Amino acid sequence: MADIMVDKAPEPVSSAALRRQMLKEFWFYFSENRGAVIGLFVFLLLVVVAVLAPLIAPHSPFEQYRDAVLVPPIWTEGGRAGYLLGTDPVGRDILSRLIYGAQYSLFIGVFVTTLSLTGGILVGLIAGYYRGWVDTVIMRLMDIILAFPSLLLALVLVAILGPSLTNGMIAIALTLQPHFVRLTRAAVMAEKTRDYVTAARLAGAGPLRLMFRTILPNCTAPLIVQATLSFSNAILDAAALGFLGMGAQPPAPEWGTMLAEAREFILRAWWVVTFPGLAILITVLAINLMGDGLRDALDPKLKRS
Amino acid sequence: MALLQIDNLTVEFETATGWFKAVDGVSMSVEKGEVLAIVGESGSGKSVAMLAVMGLLPWTAKITADQMLFEGRDIQKISPAERRKLIGKDIAMIFQEPIASLNPCFTVGFQIEEVLRIHLGLDKKERRARAIELFKQVGLPNPEERLNHFPHQMSGGQCQRVMIAIAIACNPKLLIADEPTTALDVTIQKQILDLIMSLQAKNGMGLIMITHDMGVVAETADRVVVQYKGRKMEEADVLSLFESPKSNYTKALLAALPENATGDRLTTVSAFFDGNPEPTPGVSA
Amino acid sequence: MTENTMLEVRDIKRDYELPGGLFKPKKIIHAVKGVSFKLERGKTLAIVGESGCGKSTLARMITFIDEPTSGDLLIDGKKVDTRPGHLTQEMRQKVQIVFQNPYGSLNPRQKIGDVLGEPLAINTGMSAEERRHRANEMLKKVGLGPEHYNRYPHMFSGGQRQRIAIARALMMNPKLLVLDEPVSALDLSVQAQVLNLLADLQDEFGLTYVFISHDLSVVRYIADEVMVMYFGEAVEYGTRDEVFSDPKHEYTRTLFAATPRADIESIRARIARKNAAKAVA
């Protein structure tokens, strides 16, 4: 009684082969987007740089070379061999600071995203699953958070909690969270009406099992995409907070803080602001491009054929 | 000269596992005033072939054909502008999901008048009059009022009537109906099929009816093409197809109809079809 | 007679409330307006009707997904308390459902083995090993094999998925199976296989079926009794032969007349009509 529609193509049997095939399929759709591949490579490079920072960096990020204050980059007039991208107003090597700064950026991205993702998923699941007044209360609260300009809200929170990188990250996570809540809620509401959820309910599954085992795994694709976008947002916001003096505190080589310290030298020494700015730009762009490709690969609605 | 003649059409899509042939070397033709049914199950490529003719496939599809002649002109060779003129005017198509095929943002009157403006260049008054006439033709009550309705205010059957009105607005020579009644209830299906058949007879259009339903084939077709996995299994006039099917696949399909059940179990396709289109000696339905 | 009744439905009703907006009053929709029937053990009742006639709502009430507004539901001679939270585990296990759309009824992120094992894991204290054994046995019964245990739903065709959905419904040994258009999303050839499978399983387990469908040819093939629903009411109810040979209600006759006929005589007649029309013109 075998179905005639069974494909003759060899089907993977072991779960390892299955995973390989799914990965292959993912890569096929992901790699169709060239920008995404470039973004991925830039991001991977960034990770490598961050991890190997102590080995790569030519100098310590904190060491102040009094004899080399505001040295321009090596290829311009007055550049010195030891300082590839020049030095800042107190004689620290900019390249080394940027390399160590990558550690900060990645840490901020991971921490903020994890925090807002878990919080958002939890709250969104509850709102989307129970609906009714619980949903109304939660969503209006999220609307209020969204009504503030996110940076302003983060500033207020930091002002209350006190300026430090940790508090800044918590504040940013809080402002990013409503996006996850909304996304999770929408996905949960859509999935909840599907027959497989009803079937699980008929099998006797309780609300917790339904929420976390049945529904949540099917809502991950949009969340992963949103997570990558938040990752870049978090880096950007943290840099902005740093620039305003409310995030990482000097002498930490955080990119936004570096910009802030260099503010007054913008006209005299272009390199002290250009390179941290470029680092932020490239990182955020790469992650956003990657997020685009992830959406192409994970969102079945966009899949062709 | 045939109205539409397709020779050796192949359509391929690139997937993660390589090129996939949705249509594999299919040839067929429709005469003026003839009803051709293309019947097949899902994945048989029955819709894809017609979408290729209409130029409605995504750019990822690779289309090759020896020739695709419409009234003697090869539609592969004409410019996109000429093709757009042809499609919607001389070749029209109706789809399976009537509600989804209409734009929810505009009234149905606007949508039908748009077709009349683009293809026939009628002025406002003429358009209105023609739209009302068309709505009357497809049996929509209160046509003047209906023109101001949005798709969501109508039922599926009514939306399909609007789609048909739009399709026949420019008196097409060929109408392609892609599962036009699959999403509809049986009683509505009957009405819509009757409507399509009466319009076909009256206007003398060629009609290609794409369907998976043997009942619809029996009720509408003059000639039938049976497709399976992108290949043509059999082509015959409707009576001989049902009376003495040649291909094993057709035999199997007919045997699987519940109304043809002989014992207390149905005959399944795999019982005498192994994917081979040629009749095997010693097997009969 | 009574001890052989598997399912009895007495004047069951279901109303839906459309919440009113700021300026429009609440609207009550009567989806099912008082339906009664009795179904014997091991028999198949087909409920026929077009979209919106209330047949799916009826199915959802029989499977305790929706609560009836009024009316009684007796399963195995026992009255079921359908209020949420009052349903006994035993009752729940007696009735299972197979949905229409095989693409929506299986969790895309759940392996087939887990799909089948889930009811056992929730309701029984079975070990993982035993669950696996039972699931594999059931896979064999529905025409699949142990090699399918570790696969995901998207790797199966529609017919195979429907087999899996049937297997899942049977895992807890139910007595009554509600089949909500189980073959209408399937291709003709696959439809025949699934219908045969259902017949085989009915013989093997002595199952009682409530078969919801809009396809009269399928109903004629599978049903012992037929009920035709129209706007929430049962307009026709009787044995298959009664209903098909002598339909009483106007709507039933319309339905029969509208069903496309694929027999050779009707094709001949149609072609003759067409030629005659051509000759006149």
Whether residue C237 is predicted with pLDDT greater than 90 in this model: the reply is: yes
A6 to chain B nearest CA, in Å?
11
Structural domain that includes position C109 = 2-280
C119 to chain B nearest CA, in Å?
30
Whether residue B135 is predicted with pLDDT greater than 80 in this model: the reply is: yes
- Establish if B15 touches chain A: CB-CB under 8 angstroms: yes
Task: Tell me the torsion sign for CA atoms A136, A141, A142, A148.
Answer: positive
- φ/ψ of C180, rounded to 5, equals -95, 95
Number of domains, chain C: 1
Whether residue A8 is predicted with pLDDT greater than 60 in this model: the reply is: no
Query: pLDDT for C138-196, tens place per residue?
Result: 999 898 888 888 888 888 888 899 999 999 999 989 999 999 989 888 888 888 889 99
Could you give all domains of chain A from N- to C-terminal order, each with its CATH number? Answer: 33-302 (1.10.3720.10)
Please give the DSSP secondary-structure letter assigned to residue A93: B
As a whole number of angstroms, the distance between CA A163 and CA A245 comes to 8
B13 to chain A nearest CA, in Å?
7
CB-nearest partner of A5 from C110, C159, C165:
C159
Name the residue of chain A whose CA is nearest to C97's CA.
A199
Apex CA A35: angle with CA A34 and CA A39, to 5°? 120
ipTM of the complex: 0.85
Whether residue A13 is predicted with pLDDT greater than 70 in this model: the reply is: no
- Determine, for residues B214 and C188 on separate chains, whether the beta-carbon distance falls below 8 Å: yes
Q: Tell me what percent of chain A is helix, strand and coil, each rounded to the nearest 5.
A: 70, 0, 25
- Determine, for residues A305 and B60 on separate chains, whether the beta-carbon distance falls below 8 Å: yes
As a whole number of angstroms, the distance between CA C134 and CA C173 comes to 11
CB-nearest partner of A4 from C99, C119, C189:
C189
- The tokens describing C161, both together, are 């998925």
- Establish if A9 touches chain C: CB-CB under 8 angstroms: no
Determine the pLDDT at residue B271.
53
- The tokens describing B268, both together, are 């399944």
Confidence of residue B284 (pLDDT cuts 50, 70, 90): very low
B244 to chain C nearest CA, in Å?
10
- Determine, for residues A305 and B17 on separate chains, whether the beta-carbon distance falls below 8 Å: no
- CB atoms closer than 10 angstroms to residue C255: 24
Mapped onto helix, strand or coil, the DSSP state of residue C129 is helix
CB-nearest partner of C260 from B188, B213, B256:
B213
Determine the pLDDT at residue A98.
93
Residue type, A222: P
- Establish if B19 touches chain A: CB-CB under 8 angstroms: no
- Establish if B106 touches chain A: CB-CB under 8 angstroms: no
- Establish if B62 touches chain A: CB-CB under 8 angstroms: no
- Determine, for residues B214 and C262 on separate chains, whether the beta-carbon distance falls below 8 Å: yes
Name the residue of chain C whose CA is nearest to B249's CA.
C189
CA distances from A78 to A68, A270, A276, B169 (A): 11, 14, 21, 77
As a whole number of angstroms, the distance between CA B143 and CA B160 comes to 15
Name the residue of chain A whose CA is nearest to C60's CA.
A198
Whether residue A46 is predicted with pLDDT greater than 80 in this model: the reply is: yes
B40 to chain A nearest CA, in Å?
13
CA distances from B96 to B92, B178, C45 (A): 14, 6, 31
A278 to chain B nearest CA, in Å?
36
CB-nearest partner of B187 from C187, C255, C277:
C255
C271 neighbourhood in chain B, CB within 8 Å: 238-239
Query: pLDDT for A128-154, tens place per residue?
Result: 999 999 999 999 999 999 998 888 888
Q: Which chains have at least 3 CB atom pairs separated by less than 8 Å from chain C?
A: A, B
Determine the pLDDT at residue A6.
37
Whether residue C278 is predicted with pLDDT greater than 90 in this model: the reply is: no
Average pLDDT over residues A68-80: 85
Name the residue of chain A whose CA is nearest to B61's CA.
A305
The residues, any chain, with a CB within 8 Å of residue A92's CB and separated by 6 or more, are A59, A61, A62, A63, A64, A65
Domain segments of chain B as ranges: 245-285
A7 to chain C nearest CA, in Å?
9
Average pLDDT over residues C251-257: 91
Residue carrying structure tokens 């606007």: B110
- Determine, for residues A200 and C107 on separate chains, whether the beta-carbon distance falls below 8 Å: yes
> Of B156, A258, B273, B260, nearest to C217 (Cα)?
B260
Whether residue B97 is predicted with pLDDT greater than 60 in this model: the reply is: yes
> Of A109, A226, A117, nearest to A169 (Cα)?
A109
Apex CA C172: angle with CA C168 and CA C178, to 5°? 65
- Determine, for residues B16 and A304 on separate chains, whether the beta-carbon distance falls below 8 Å: no
Residue C233 belongs to a domain with what CATH number? 3.40.50.300
Whether residue B59 is predicted with pLDDT greater than 70 in this model: the reply is: yes
Task: Tell me the torsion sign for CA atoms A97, A99, A102, A104.
Answer: negative
Whether residue A180 is predicted with pLDDT greater than 90 in this model: the reply is: yes
